[in-house]
Amino acid sequence: MASCLLLASFICAVYVAMPRGHKTLKTVAVVVVKTTVGAVLAFLFTYTAELYPTIVRCLAVGSSSMVSRLASFIIPLTKQVWIPLPQILFWILAILSGLSSLRLPETLNKPLASTWETTEQQAPENKADADEAPPTAEKGGSDEAPPTAEKGGSDEAPPTAEKGGSDEAPPTTETPAKENRKVMIHPKLRSLRRKRRK
């Protein structure tokens, strides 16, 4: 995407610098710019949707589309001010868009973010923090080997405790739950249930 935008901006700069007599060359430049911009638009909406979390995805894509349509409506009107101004504005916007798209994260084979927190965790700035964390985790990983052996020993004891706990815990847990249910039921409902049982 960035390469297409930067190519379009370069060709726009060349187009503005071309003399008026080269109509064929100008037509070729316009066709190449239109092709590169069409290539960007082919995947722009999909990529934009992948960048935003689910909770604002629809609003973000709609807002981006609105701004782009507004700019495409206003820029041709600047021709009345100065004839090459639309090409210059397009050139500047294409350069800015191409350079700023280089900083966007890669979304290929990555899960879509559902919340802002998930988006922040996937941000490139936070990846640098995450890259610093693995050495600590590796140290923890070397320390984890003995606890794994201990966990194996503790794994043998808890199943026995769990079996004993499961035999003892459910009756104890069920009894208070039944008592709580009786307390929480409205007296009229209790009388209705008694009538149904009889």
Per residue in 31-55, pLDDT (tens digit) is 999 999 888 888 888 888 888 888 8
Where is mean pLDDT largest: 112-116, 125-129, 150-154? 112-116
Segment 55-70 mean pLDDT: 90
Task: Report the pLDDT averaged over residues 14-20.
Answer: 86
Question: For 107-121, what is the mean pLDDT?
Answer: 82
Q: What percent of the chain has pLDDT over 70?
A: 66
Q: Which pLDDT tens digit goes with each residue over 67-103?
A: 888 988 999 899 999 988 998 898 898 899 889 989 8
Q: Exposed (0-12), middle (13-18) or buried (19+): which is 93, by Cβ within 10 Å?
A: middle
Residues 6+ apart with CB under 8 A from 99: 2, 6
**15 near 33, Cβ under 8 Å?**
yes
- Does position 105 have pLDDT exceeding 70, yes or no? yes
